[in-house]
Amino acid sequence: MQQLQAIKIGILGGGQLGRMLLQKAIDLDLHISVLDPDEDAPCRYICKEFFHGSFTDYDAVYNFGKQFNLITIEIENVNVEALERLEKEGVKVHPSSAVIKTVQDKGLQKEFYKKNNFPTADFVLIKNRAEISEHASLLPMMHKSRKGGYDGKGVFVLKKSADIVNAPDVPAVLEHLIDFEKEISVIVARNENGEVRSFPVVDMSFNQEANLVEYLYSPSSVTPQLENEATNLALKIAESLSLVGILAVEMFVTKDGKLLINEIAPRPHNSGHQTIEGNITSQYEQMLRAITNLPLGETTITKPAVMVNILGEKGFEGKAIYSGLEEVLKKDGVHIHLYGKKLTKPFRKMGHVTVTSNTLGEAIEKANYIKNTLKVIA
C-alpha cells in the first residue's frame, strides 16, 4: 500500500467544505493543494499550496490536476472534460468524472433515478421558459435549472400560470410540488475496495426564504423501518454509480410514509456537519478514508446533536462582524465553526454551530438560543 504521505491530492474548490476536509487531512498528515477562483477562499491559508484559478476552466483544471496522484472535489460545478483527460492519463479522480457529470446536471440526475427505478418526484425536462406552459398540469411545480444551481440558487416555485413569466429562460427540470412530511438526508461512503458505510439518517429544516438548510437534527425522528429503507436506498445509489468517496442523498418523506429522492451530492455536505462532534467518524475523515482506499470508520452517533447554519443577516453587506459570539460560547456543548469568509451578505453561509447534549430536546433549545443570539452583520 502506498504511504499516505506520498499521495499528492488536489481539491477543486476552496470553500468551507474543503476547509473542513483540510482540517481533518492535517490530522492524517495528508498533503493537499487547492484550486479556487477566490484569492481569499476559506482554504487558502491552511492548504499545502493554493492555486488561484477557475475550477470550471479546462486549462486551469487540467494543468492543476496533472501535478497530483489524486483529484477530488468540494463542489460539483467543475470542468468535467479536463477530468476525463486526467483519468485517461492515469490520475485518479474520486468521485469519477462520470459521477460528477451526472450529478452536476439535474436533468441527468433525474434520468439516472428513472433508469435505475429509484423513487423520485414526477418530472419533465424542458429546454426553455416557453416550454413550461406545455406542462401546466404539473402546477404547482418546482423549476430547477439543470446546471449551476447551488445552495438554493436556481430553484423556483411556480404556483400558478402567472408565475411562469418570472421563471429563468434556461434548460430546466420541472417537478410536481411534493406535499411532504419532512426532509431527511443519508450520507454513505464507499472506497475502491467496495467497502461501504452509512451515517445515521438526519432530519433537515430549511430557511424557506433562502431555500437553505437552517437546522439539522441527529438522530432523525423517522421510524427504524424508514431509516433502514432510506439507508438501503442511498447505498444502492452509491453502488449504481460505482462511487468512490462519499455521497449525500436528500430525500422527501411523503405524508403517506414513502421516500422520494430529491438530490444527491458526491462530496461533503451540509447535512453532515454535525458528524464532526456528534459521530465517531466525521464525514470529512470518512471521505479521506474512502478516496485513499483506507478502511472506513465507524459512524455511530456519540451524542444527540443539532446543527444550525450561521447565515449573513438580511440588510448587511461588507466586512463580517460576529455579534453575540461570547454569549453563545457560555453555553455547554457548543461547537463553533467559522469559515474564514471576510465579507458577509444576506444568507451567505458564514459558519455553523453544532450543539451536543444528553437529549435532542436540550440540544434544540440551545440551538434556538444560538440562532437568535449569534448574528453576522457588517
Q: What are phi and psi of 31, to 5 degrees?
A: -105, 110
**Would strands 334-338 and 349-356 be described as parallel, antiparallel, or unpaired?**
antiparallel
Q: For residue 132, what pLDDT is reported?
A: 94
Is 115 among the domain residues?
A: no
pLDDT at position 236 over 90: yes
Q: How many CA atoms lie within 13 A of 11 on its CB side?
A: 34
pLDDT at position 1 over 70: no
**Would strands 245-254 and 259-265 be described as parallel, antiparallel, or unpaired?**
antiparallel
356, 314 contact by CB (below 8 A): no
Within this chain, do residues 161 and 207 fall inside the same structural domain, yes or no? no
Within this chain, do residues 302 and 357 fall inside the same structural domain, yes or no? yes
pLDDT band per the 50, 70, 90 thresholds, residue 53? very high
Mean pLDDT of 297-316: 97
Within this chain, do residues 76 and 214 fall inside the same structural domain, yes or no? no
Within this chain, do residues 166 and 190 fall inside the same structural domain, yes or no? no
Q: What is the DSSP letter of 120?
A: B
Within this chain, do residues 371 and 294 fall inside the same structural domain, yes or no? yes
| Nine cell digits for residue 347 | 444568507
Q: For residue 148, what pLDDT is reported?
A: 82
Q: For residue 153, what pLDDT is reported?
A: 75
Return the H-helix or E-strand segment holding 166: none
Within this chain, do residues 166 and 189 fall inside the same structural domain, yes or no? no
- The DSSP bridge partners found for residue 71 are 10, 93
Q: For residue 152, what pLDDT is reported?
A: 66
Within this chain, do residues 139 and 48 fall inside the same structural domain, yes or no? no
Q: Give the domain CATH number at 15.
A: 3.40.50.20
Q: For residue 211, what pLDDT is reported?
A: 76
d(CA 202, CA 249): 11
| Residue 139: domain span | 122-176
Assign 142 to helix, strand or coil.
Answer: strand
Q: Which of 176, 205, 239 is the last residue of a domain?
A: 176
Q: For residue 283, what pLDDT is reported?
A: 98
Q: What are phi and psi of 329, to 5 degrees?
A: -70, -10
What is the percent of the chain with per-residue pLDDT over 90, rounded to a whole number? 91
Is 108 among the domain residues?
A: no
Is 318 among the domain residues?
A: yes
How many domains is the chain built from? 3
Within this chain, do residues 312 and 235 fall inside the same structural domain, yes or no? yes
Q: What are phi and psi of 138, to 5 degrees?
A: -80, -15
Within this chain, do residues 18 and 137 fall inside the same structural domain, yes or no? no
Higher pLDDT, 194 or 176: 194
Is 117 among the domain residues?
A: no
Mean pLDDT of 212-218: 93
Within this chain, do residues 203 and 246 fall inside the same structural domain, yes or no? yes
Q: Dihedral sign, CA of 236, 240, 246, 250?
A: negative
Within this chain, do residues 154 and 18 fall inside the same structural domain, yes or no? no
Is 285 among the domain residues?
A: yes
Q: Which of 140-144, 264-268, 286-290 has the lowest mean pLDDT?
A: 140-144
Q: Give the domain CATH number at 341.
A: 3.30.470.20
23-to-79, 191, 291 alpha-carbon distances in Å: 25, 21, 16
Q: Which of 93, 109, 132 is the last residue of a domain?
A: 93
Q: Give the domain CATH number at 158.
A: 3.30.1490.20
313, 377 contact by CB (below 8 A): yes
Within this chain, do residues 280 and 366 fall inside the same structural domain, yes or no? yes
On average, the pLDDT of the chain sits at 95
- Tens digits of residue pLDDT in 90-121: 999 999 999 999 999 999 999 999 999 999 99
Q: For residue 3, what pLDDT is reported?
A: 75
Is 295 among the domain residues?
A: yes
Is 322 among the domain residues?
A: yes
d(CA 215, CA 354): 10
Whether the model pTM is above 0.85? yes
| Nine cell digits for residue 46 | 491552511
Q: Dihedral sign, CA of 211, 274, 369, 205?
A: positive
Q: What is the DSSP letter of 257?
A: S
